[in-house]
Amino acid sequence: MKAFLILEDGTVFTGTSIGSQKEVISEIVFNTSMTGYPEVLTDPSYAGQAVVMTYPLIGNYGVCFEDMESDRPWPDGFIVRELSRRPSNFRSDISIQDFLEKYEIPGISGIDTRALTKILREKGTMIGMITTNEKFDMEEVKEKLKTYSSKGVIEKVSRKSKTVLEGGKHKVALYDFGTKKNIANSLHKRGCEVTVYPAFTSAEEIICSNPDGIMLSNGPGDPKDCTSIIEEIKKLYNTDIPIFAICLGHQLMALATGADTLKMKYGHRGANHPVKDLATGKVYISTQNHGYMVDEKTIDQDIAQVKFINVNDGTVEGLQFKDKNIFTVQFHPEACAGPQDTELLFDEFIKMMEDKKNA
**Residue 249 annotated as part of some ligand binding site:** no
Flag whether 258 is marked binding. Answer: no
Contact 295, 259 (CB under 8 A): yes
The C-alpha atoms of residue 289 and residue 306 are separated, in whole angstroms, by 19
* Distance linking the first and last C-alpha atoms of the chain: 65
Asked whether residue 10 is marked as a ligand-binding residue, the answer is no
88 is in an annotated binding site: no
45 is in an annotated binding site: yes
As a whole number of angstroms, the distance between CA 62 and CA 71 comes to 17
Omega before 337 within 30 of 0, i.e. cis: yes
d(CA 91, CA 104): 23
188 in catalytic set: no
DSSP label at residue 171: E
Do residues 113 and 56 touch, judged by C-beta distance below 8 A? yes
Cβ contact 343:286 at 8 Å? no
CA distance 131 to 168: 49
Q: Is position 332 annotated as part of the catalytic site? A: yes
| Residue of 247, 268, 290, 336 with catalytic role | 247
CA neighbor of 333 nearest in space, from 176, 187, 212, 169: 187
64 is catalytic: no
Is 248 annotated in a binding site? The answer is yes
The set of residues, in sequence order, having a beta carbon less than 8 Å from that of 14 and lying 6+ positions away, is: 2, 3, 4, 111
Sequence-distant (6+) residues with CB within 8 A of 13 are: 4, 5, 108, 111, 112, 115, 116
Beta-bridge mates of residue 163: 196
Q: Please tell me which residue in 39, 290, 334, 336 is annotated as part of the active site.
A: 334
Query: Known binder of ligand: residue 251?
Result: yes
Q: Is 301 annotated as a binding residue?
A: no
- Annotated binding residues, as ranges? 45, 219, 221, 248, 251, 289, 291-292
- The set of catalytic residues is 247, 332, 334
- Annotated binding residues for L-glutamine, as ranges? 45, 219, 221, 248, 251, 289, 291-292
